[in-house]
Amino acid sequence: MTSQNKPNSRRDLLKSMAAAGALIGASAAATAAPRKAAGPFLPITASARRELKKAVKGQVLWQGEAAYESARGNAVYRANKPKRFPTVIVIAESDKDVVAAVRFARGHGLKVGRRSGGHGWSSAHLRNGAMLIDLSRMQEVEIDAKNKTLWTHPGVLGSRLNAELNPLGLIIPTAHHPTVGIGGFAMCGGFGWNSRLWGNGSAHILAVDVVNAEGELIRADETQNTDYLWAARGAGAGFFGVVTRMKMRVNVLPPVMKLSAYGYTADVLEELFTWARGIVDKIPPYMELVIVSTAHDAKTGLASPVRLTVAALAITETHKQADDALAILETCPVLSKATFRRVGIPQDLEQRYASGYAADPAGYRFAVDNIYTNAPAAELVPKLRKLFTELPSPRSHVFWLNWGPTRPFPEDMALSVQGDVFLAAYSLWEDPAQDEAMEMWPVNQFKDLRSLSVGGQMNDENIARSPQRYLSDAANNKLEALRERHDPHGVFLSFLRSVT
Ligand SMILES: Cc1cc2nc3c(=O)[nH]c(=O)nc-3n(C[C@H](O)[C@H](O)[C@H](O)COP(=O)(O)OP(=O)(O)OC[C@H]3O[C@@H](n4cnc5c(N)ncnc54)[C@H](O)[C@@H]3O)c2cc1C
């Protein structure tokens, strides 16, 4: 074992974080000095606590109160809940509650974290000594089918939006997993249904209602408060406000959805990935092609040898278009070694969400890391065997997505990092005694690949443990300048820089 692939010690980790110092967008966001406090602040006395309860129609739970711990746990999807304890949790029921909460936080020197669906992998919203504003009880959706738009509260699940849109012949890209909130998904970038064709979740945001650092409710769209709209489209936890409603573009639901899937053993891993890298430019935008390594039996859940599944989903206008696109899977040079082959199976979103849920079911402990790369097969493929075959538990999995050929992102979005191939590793486990090792596993697995990375995807971020380039330098500099302008006293928490 070389020193490069030895498990990371805490010192190595700190060293790598310092070296990466300039990363998030590789610069200021990770290293920025804490903002000046707006104090003097009012003390948080018993009467101040009562005052907040009176001002908020929803629930206010101060640390130590009976329902606090379950609200804290519910705010995070993964079972390895961070040991971070906000001073107060406000479960808002309306914009007015959010305004009251932000004003209280401002006056009393509490920093504010925001939760929509609670699936952010690093749970940046949960911080010691802060206020957590939980938006999950705000659940209104208004669809304007004629104009192909909707207004939604950010805590609404993506799958619910499509359950309402699909009968109207409409669809919106959401996470492939049914319980992810539309808020964090779209604000972090968001790779969803046909995103290669229709754009990321961020590109679907047309307007946002925001409670800003002054505690005022404002609207941001193409004509007003445009800084907020730009940042809502991809700044993720770096956003300087609380989004209380989002207006989003929706797409016409194409009539055909078909899936092909082929199984391979790890013996053919190099041939498989060399082929997959080589066809990046040939995959039409209405098809997503992934290769996933798993090490459990899909029916029993029991450990099994590593299996590589090549799967492609085509969402198209005609059967011919779908069949033609899926036919590329038959060009795989090791096709004759496929252990199973399922071709052109009709699908609907309900089935796809169920499959997403089966991969990442509730109740597990999770950790993640990812990179985007443009590296050619000759450099990339030799580094993939370790990543894809050393799964630390039966439920853990590693993911390859042919994201390219990349089209430049428009400048009206903070979202700014992408690459031809997206790689992500997910550890899943149950035993708390394994936390430290399993939380570091995805980070360690990418060590050998860092030199080939062009940055990471914010949705699958692990910023505290694996600081990397999540925004372009230009976008990062702009975000820092906007945070300074619109939240000079740092009312809102930003990216999580330390896991404790
Ligand atoms: C099981 C699972 C499957 C996933 N599948 C996919 C997938 O297929 N495609 C994909 O792109 N991503 C996927 N993700 C990643 C997911 O999109 C991101 O983690 C996303 O941030 C989660 O959104 P949320 O609203 O549920 O999370 P939250 O934890 O509520 O939000 C994440 C962060 O966004 C910020 N934020 C959230 N809401 C607001 C708001 N209203 N105002 C201001 N800031 C806010 C906060 O800083 C918060 O910490 C998946 C995640 C999980 C856990």
Per-residue tokens: 31: 């290293």
Of residues 148, 149, 171, the one with CA closest to residue 159: 171
Please state, in angstroms and rounded to a whole number, the distance separating the CA atoms of residues 58 and 7. Answer: 45
Substitution site in 139, 159, 187 for ligand 1 pocket (most atoms within 8 Å of beta carbon): 187
Look at residue 3 and tell me whether its pLDDT is greater than 60.
no
Confidence of residue 7 (pLDDT cuts 50, 70, 90): very low
Query: If you take atom 9 of ligand 1, which residue's CA is the nearest one?
Result: 175
Residue 16 confidence (pLDDT): 39
- Taking the centre of ligand 1 as the mean of its atom positions, its distance from the CA of residue 410, in whole angstroms, is 22
Model confidence at 14: pLDDT above 90? no
* 474 has a pLDDT exceeding 70: yes
Report how far residue 253's alpha carbon sits from residue 230's, in angstroms, rounded to the nearest whole number. 27
Q: Distance from the CA of 236 to the center of ligand 1, in angstroms?
A: 8
CA of 376 to the centre of ligand 1 (A): 31
Specify the ligand 1 atom closest to the Cα of 493: 47
Quote the mean pLDDT of the chain.
93
Cα 297 to ligand 1 centroid, rounded to whole Å: 28
pLDDT score of 358 more than 80: yes
Mean pLDDT value across residues 243-250: 98
Q: Is the predicted pLDDT of residue 328 greater than 90, yes or no?
A: yes
Mean per-residue pLDDT for 212-240? 98
Q: Are 440 and 462 in contact (CB under 8 A)?
A: no
CA–CA distance, 326 with 345 (Å, rounded to integer): 10
Does the pLDDT of residue 79 top 80, yes or no?
Answer: yes
Which domains are delineated in the chain?
A: 36-134 (3.30.43.10), 141-252 (3.30.465.10), 256-460 (3.40.462.20)
Hey, what amino acid is at 213?
Answer: A
* Pocket lining for ligand 1, CB < 6 angstroms: 77, 114-121, 124-125, 135, 154, 175-177, 180-181, 183-185, 187-188, 190-192, 236-237, 239, 242-243, 360, 459-460
Model pLDDT for residues 173-182, shown as the tens digit of each residue: 999 999 999 9
Task: Say how far apart CA 270 and CA 279 lie, in whole Å.
Answer: 14
- Position 370 scores a pLDDT of 98
Q: Is the pLDDT of residue 25 over 70?
A: no
Q: According to the model, what pLDDT value does residue 385 have?
A: 98
Q: How confident is the model at residue 5 (pLDDT cuts 50, 70, 90)?
A: very low
pLDDT greater at residue 405 or residue 102: 102
The tens digit of pLDDT for each residue in 80-121 reads 999 999 999 999 999 999 999 999 999 999 999 999 999 999
With a pLDDT cut of 70, the percent of the chain lying above it is 93
At 406, the pLDDT band (50, 70, 90 cuts) reads confident
pLDDT recorded at residue 390: 96
Quickly state the pLDDT bin for 39 (edges 50, 70, 90): confident
What pLDDT does 301 receive? Answer: 82
267-325 per-position pLDDT tens digit: 999 999 999 999 999 999 999 999 999 999 888 888 999 999 999 999 999 999 999 99
pLDDT of 30 > 80? The answer is no
* CB 405, CB 281: distance < 8 Å: yes
**pLDDT-based confidence at residue 359 (cuts at 50, 70, 90):** very high
Which pLDDT value is given to residue 24? 58
Pocket test for ligand 1, best of 127, 180, 369, 492 (most atoms within 8 A of CB): 180
Expressed in angstroms and rounded, the spacing between residue 119 Cα and the centre of ligand 1 is 5
Read off the pLDDT of residues 337-347 as tens digits, 9 standing for 90 and up: 999 999 999 99
User: What token pair was written down for 163?
Assistant: 């359950």
Which pLDDT value is given to residue 17?
36
- Mean per-residue pLDDT, 353-381: 97
